[in-house]
């Protein structure tokens, strides 16, 4: 895995993915409350240095990767999942081709 980046960026991206997954009422979900509480409990203050901060950040980045991957997989599945028999024109359109027109208006 590449560099983790800033914890705040990971936190905001996690909230964005939760919004995609749960809709407008994502703040009412237990996942939102858990992520918020975990980031608040593991932040660095002037009084202490939390050794588990990097561990939390790594777990949050891993969870973010999972949420993004699931969302992208579902989008790809909806787009390319078989819908039964397709016409030749639909199949050609899926791969970016157009069927040639036959003379006399037959196609």
Indicate whether this model's pTM tops 0.75.
Answer: no
Residue 85 has pLDDT above 80, yes or no: yes
Is the distance from CB of 50 to CB of 43 less than 8 angstroms? yes
The per-residue pLDDT of the chain, averaged, comes to: 82
Is the pLDDT score of 90 beyond 90? Answer: no
> What secondary structure does DSSP assign to 35-95, as a single string?
HHHHHHHT---SS---TTHHHHHHHHHHHHHHHHHHHHHHHHHHHHS--S---HHHHHHHT
Phi, psi of 82 (to 5 degrees): -60, 135
Q: What local confidence, expressed as pLDDT, does residue 47 receive?
A: 58
Continuous segment of H or E residues that includes residue 4: none
- Please give the structure tokens belonging to residue 89: 């024109």
Distances (CA, A) of 36 to 14, 27, 93: 10, 10, 45
């Amino acid at each position: 895995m590449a560099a983790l980046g800033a914890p705040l960026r990971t936190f905001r991206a996690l909230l964005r993915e939760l919004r995609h997954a749960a809709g407008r009422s994502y703040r009412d979900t237990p996942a939102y409350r858990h992520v918020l509480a975990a980031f608040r409990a593991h932040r660095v203050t002037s009084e202490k240095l939390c050794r588990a901060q990097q561990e939390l950040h790594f777990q949050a980045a891993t969870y973010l990767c999972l949420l993004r991957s699931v969302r992208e997989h579902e989008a790809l599945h909806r787009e390319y999942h078989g819908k039964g028999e397709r016409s030749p024109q639909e199949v050609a359109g899926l791969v970016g081709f157009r069927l040639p027109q036959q003379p006399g208006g037959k196609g």
